[in-house]
Amino acid sequence: MAKALKKKTTKALRSKARTVPKGSGMSTGTNKKMSTDRGRPAKKSLNRRTVSKNRAATAGKSLPYFVHPKGLADSTEIGPRTRIWAFAHVLKGAVIGCDCNIGECVFVEPEVVLGNHVTIKNGVQVWTGVTCEDYVFVGPNATFTNDLRPRVAHPTDPADYAKTHVCYGASIGANATIVAGNTIGSHAMIGAGTVVIRDVPAHALMVGNPARRIGWICACGEKLPESLVCPKCAKRYERADLGLRPLL
């Protein structure tokens, strides 16, 4: 049941994110020659050739998303108003929705799905098999994984990588580690440095290594008292099989 729900949600996110016409994925900008110290001409590299090629392909075109001149976006499935900052690299085959913010030095592999309004802070690597639904926050230097038994001499087939699913509105704190094969429930809050090794219920507040629940959290980010009534926004909750659910 859970696997079917994951597949259905991932398919829906891909469908929502594919709203951009095909293009190179690079923003336009000046094409000045780079110089090096001591007046020597800059050495050519694959990255520089790729950047120059992408800039030439997009010259005179207005893309619906922004890529910093020092960022790379090989994927063409990027939604409107998404921003990709310096030294970030989004590989071909990744799907990113609209209004996302991809920070500096972020690396996004193929078959990653990011919904709408997702924020990925600096220094995060998002590996194949990770899906983040809408309004997910991933803090700086948080770590995802996808290979549960990594061996150089006996590599895992990418088709066998474990999947990670981060549900709507969840937040992952700085330097947290998310071990592959788990689901983080909607609006859950993962504390800084936490190591997640099993599924996290919706609205759970998790800390420690391994992660343990120390309370419940409202959708607005306030910790809930025992009454499960938010002292900040007055939203009410009740216990459910997969954590908490709001009362209508």
Q: Which percentage of the chain shows pLDDT scores above 90?
A: 74
Whole-number pLDDT of residue 247: 96
Q: Contacts by 112-115 with C-beta closer than 8 Å and gap 24+?
A: 113/10, 113/13, 113/14, 113/17, 114/13, 114/17, 115/13, 115/16, 115/17, 115/168
Residues 6+ apart with CB under 8 A from 152: none
- Which residue ranges form the domains of the chain, and what is each CATH number? 2-18+46-147+160-221 (2.160.10.10)
Residue with the larger pLDDT of the pair 61 and 142: 142
What H or E segment, with its residue span, contains residue 245?
A: strand 243-246
Residue with the larger pLDDT of the pair 42 and 89: 89
Whole-number pLDDT of residue 29: 40
Whole-number pLDDT of residue 44: 42
Is the model's pTM score more than 0.85?
A: no
- Per-residue pLDDT band for 60 (boundaries 50, 70, 90) equals very low
Q: What is the dihedral of CA 38, 39, 42, 43, to 10 degrees?
A: -60
